[in-house]
Structure 1
Amino acid sequence: MKPIRLTKHAQEQAIERGTNEAEIIDTIVTGNRQPAKNGRYKYQAIFQYNNDWQGQFYSVKKVVPIVTETDTELVVITVYTFYF
Protein backbone atom coordinates (compact mmCIF):
# COMPACT_ATOMS: atom_id res chain seq x y z
CA MET A 1 0.00 0.00 0.00
CA LYS A 2 1.11 3.54 -0.73
CA PRO A 3 2.04 5.88 2.13
CA ILE A 4 -0.87 7.85 3.60
CA ARG A 5 -0.61 11.60 4.19
CA LEU A 6 -3.17 13.88 5.83
CA THR A 7 -3.46 17.44 4.60
CA LYS A 8 -3.55 20.20 7.18
CA HIS A 9 -7.28 20.58 6.52
CA ALA A 10 -7.85 16.85 7.17
CA GLN A 11 -5.87 17.07 10.42
CA GLU A 12 -7.96 20.03 11.58
CA GLN A 13 -11.23 18.35 10.62
CA ALA A 14 -10.21 15.15 12.42
CA ILE A 15 -9.81 17.08 15.68
CA GLU A 16 -13.00 19.07 15.15
CA ARG A 17 -15.02 15.97 14.30
CA GLY A 18 -13.69 13.68 17.01
CA THR A 19 -11.36 11.27 15.26
CA ASN A 20 -7.60 10.89 14.94
CA GLU A 21 -4.89 9.88 12.50
CA ALA A 22 -4.77 6.28 13.77
CA GLU A 23 -8.51 5.76 13.12
CA ILE A 24 -8.23 7.39 9.70
CA ILE A 25 -5.33 5.16 8.66
CA ASP A 26 -7.10 2.08 10.04
CA THR A 27 -10.18 3.03 8.01
CA ILE A 28 -8.15 3.32 4.81
CA VAL A 29 -6.27 0.06 5.41
CA THR A 30 -9.23 -2.10 6.51
CA GLY A 31 -12.38 -0.19 5.57
CA ASN A 32 -14.76 -0.22 2.64
CA ARG A 33 -13.58 1.85 -0.37
CA GLN A 34 -16.09 3.51 -2.70
CA PRO A 35 -15.81 6.04 -5.53
CA ALA A 36 -16.50 9.66 -4.58
CA LYS A 37 -16.77 12.91 -6.55
CA ASN A 38 -13.98 14.23 -8.75
CA GLY A 39 -12.08 10.94 -9.02
CA ARG A 40 -11.62 10.66 -5.27
CA TYR A 41 -12.41 7.77 -2.96
CA LYS A 42 -14.22 7.55 0.34
CA TYR A 43 -13.39 4.90 2.85
CA GLN A 44 -15.72 3.87 5.67
CA ALA A 45 -15.25 1.96 8.89
CA ILE A 46 -17.27 1.59 12.08
CA PHE A 47 -15.59 1.84 15.50
CA GLN A 48 -17.00 1.01 18.91
CA TYR A 49 -17.27 4.33 20.71
CA ASN A 50 -19.39 3.98 23.88
CA ASN A 51 -18.76 7.56 24.94
CA ASP A 52 -20.26 11.03 24.92
CA TRP A 53 -19.85 13.36 21.96
CA GLN A 54 -21.09 16.93 22.33
CA GLY A 55 -23.21 16.03 25.35
CA GLN A 56 -24.87 12.90 23.97
CA PHE A 57 -23.95 9.21 24.36
CA TYR A 58 -23.15 7.17 21.25
CA SER A 59 -22.21 3.51 21.00
CA VAL A 60 -20.54 3.60 17.58
CA LYS A 61 -18.68 6.05 15.38
CA LYS A 62 -18.29 5.88 11.60
CA VAL A 63 -15.12 7.45 10.18
CA VAL A 64 -15.17 8.49 6.51
CA PRO A 65 -11.93 9.92 5.08
CA ILE A 66 -12.03 11.36 1.55
CA VAL A 67 -8.87 10.46 -0.33
CA THR A 68 -7.18 11.36 -3.58
CA GLU A 69 -4.55 9.02 -4.97
CA THR A 70 -1.33 10.08 -6.66
CA ASP A 71 1.34 7.89 -8.21
CA THR A 72 3.22 7.82 -4.92
CA GLU A 73 0.77 8.33 -2.05
CA LEU A 74 -2.79 8.44 -0.73
CA VAL A 75 -3.68 11.97 0.36
CA VAL A 76 -6.52 12.44 2.86
CA ILE A 77 -8.14 15.75 1.97
CA THR A 78 -10.91 15.74 4.58
CA VAL A 79 -12.63 13.42 7.03
CA TYR A 80 -16.21 13.06 8.21
CA THR A 81 -17.36 11.41 11.42
CA PHE A 82 -20.85 10.14 12.14
CA TYR A 83 -22.10 9.06 15.57
CA PHE A 84 -24.82 6.49 16.22
Structure 2
Amino acid sequence: MKPILYSQHAIEQMFNREVSKEEVESAIIEGEITPAKKGRLSFRKNFPFKAEHKGKYYEIKQVMPIVVEENDCYIVITVYAFYFGG
Protein backbone atom coordinates (compact mmCIF):
# COMPACT_ATOMS: atom_id res chain seq x y z
CA MET A 1 0.00 0.00 0.00
CA LYS A 2 1.32 3.41 -0.96
CA PRO A 3 1.56 6.12 1.71
CA ILE A 4 -1.41 8.50 1.88
CA LEU A 5 -0.71 12.24 2.03
CA TYR A 6 -3.26 15.02 2.57
CA SER A 7 -3.52 18.47 1.01
CA GLN A 8 -4.38 21.35 3.34
CA HIS A 9 -7.74 21.65 1.57
CA ALA A 10 -8.51 17.96 2.25
CA ILE A 11 -7.67 18.39 5.94
CA GLU A 12 -9.98 21.42 6.19
CA GLN A 13 -12.81 19.57 4.43
CA MET A 14 -12.39 16.54 6.69
CA PHE A 15 -12.82 18.81 9.70
CA ASN A 16 -15.81 20.65 8.20
CA ARG A 17 -17.52 17.44 7.09
CA GLU A 18 -16.70 15.46 10.24
CA VAL A 19 -14.65 12.77 8.51
CA SER A 20 -11.76 11.03 10.28
CA LYS A 21 -8.40 10.10 8.82
CA GLU A 22 -9.23 6.46 9.57
CA GLU A 23 -12.43 6.71 7.50
CA VAL A 24 -10.56 8.24 4.55
CA GLU A 25 -7.85 5.58 4.67
CA SER A 26 -10.44 2.80 4.95
CA ALA A 27 -12.28 4.21 1.91
CA ILE A 28 -9.05 4.22 -0.10
CA ILE A 29 -8.02 0.72 0.97
CA GLU A 30 -11.42 -1.02 0.93
CA GLY A 31 -13.81 1.26 -0.96
CA GLU A 32 -15.22 1.27 -4.47
CA ILE A 33 -12.89 3.04 -6.89
CA THR A 34 -14.07 5.04 -9.90
CA PRO A 35 -12.37 7.51 -12.24
CA ALA A 36 -12.86 11.18 -11.37
CA LYS A 37 -12.29 14.39 -13.34
CA LYS A 38 -8.80 15.47 -14.39
CA GLY A 39 -7.36 11.95 -14.14
CA ARG A 40 -8.07 11.68 -10.44
CA LEU A 41 -9.57 8.76 -8.54
CA SER A 42 -12.70 8.68 -6.41
CA PHE A 43 -13.10 6.15 -3.61
CA ARG A 44 -16.44 5.52 -1.85
CA LYS A 45 -17.20 3.59 1.29
CA ASN A 46 -20.32 3.45 3.46
CA PHE A 47 -19.95 3.37 7.24
CA PRO A 48 -22.63 2.60 9.84
CA PHE A 49 -23.36 5.97 11.46
CA LYS A 50 -26.54 5.77 13.57
CA ALA A 51 -26.12 9.26 14.99
CA GLU A 52 -27.05 12.89 14.49
CA HIS A 53 -25.27 15.16 12.06
CA LYS A 54 -26.22 18.84 12.03
CA GLY A 55 -29.40 18.14 13.99
CA LYS A 56 -30.71 15.20 11.93
CA TYR A 57 -30.39 11.45 12.55
CA TYR A 58 -28.70 9.29 9.88
CA GLU A 59 -28.04 5.57 9.59
CA ILE A 60 -25.16 5.69 7.09
CA LYS A 61 -22.23 7.98 6.37
CA GLN A 62 -20.60 7.67 2.95
CA VAL A 63 -17.03 8.94 2.72
CA MET A 64 -15.61 9.86 -0.69
CA PRO A 65 -12.00 11.04 -0.93
CA ILE A 66 -10.79 12.40 -4.27
CA VAL A 67 -7.21 11.32 -4.84
CA VAL A 68 -4.27 11.92 -7.15
CA GLU A 69 -2.23 8.75 -7.58
CA GLU A 70 1.50 9.40 -7.84
CA ASN A 71 4.15 6.73 -8.47
CA ASP A 72 5.03 6.52 -4.78
CA CYS A 73 1.95 7.79 -2.90
CA TYR A 74 -1.69 8.82 -2.91
CA ILE A 75 -2.47 12.52 -2.37
CA VAL A 76 -5.95 13.24 -1.02
CA ILE A 77 -7.04 16.57 -2.51
CA THR A 78 -10.56 16.79 -1.07
CA VAL A 79 -13.02 14.70 0.91
CA TYR A 80 -16.81 14.54 0.64
CA ALA A 81 -19.25 13.06 3.14
CA PHE A 82 -22.85 12.09 2.42
CA TYR A 83 -25.35 11.09 5.08
CA PHE A 84 -28.29 8.74 4.39
CA GLY A 85 -31.19 6.97 6.02
CA GLY A 86 -32.71 9.31 8.50
Is the structural similarity TM-score above 0.5? yes
Indicate the TM-score class for this superposition, using the shorter chain for normalisation. over 0.9
Q: Deviations over 1:29-69 (max 9, x none)?
A: 00000000000000000000000000000010000000001
Aligned to 1:58: 58
Q: 1:19 aligns to what SS in structure 2? A: coil
**How far, CA to CA, are the matches of 2:16 and 2:54 in structure 1?**
11
Instruction: Return the TM-score normalized by structure 2.
Output: 0.95
Q: What is the number of residues matched between the two proteins?
A: 84
Gaps of 5+ in 1: none
Root mean square deviation, CA, Å: 0.5
Deviation at 1:18, TM superposition (A): 1.3
Runs of 4+ in 1 over 6 A off after TM superposition: none
Gaps of 5+ in 2: none
Aligned to 1:77: 77
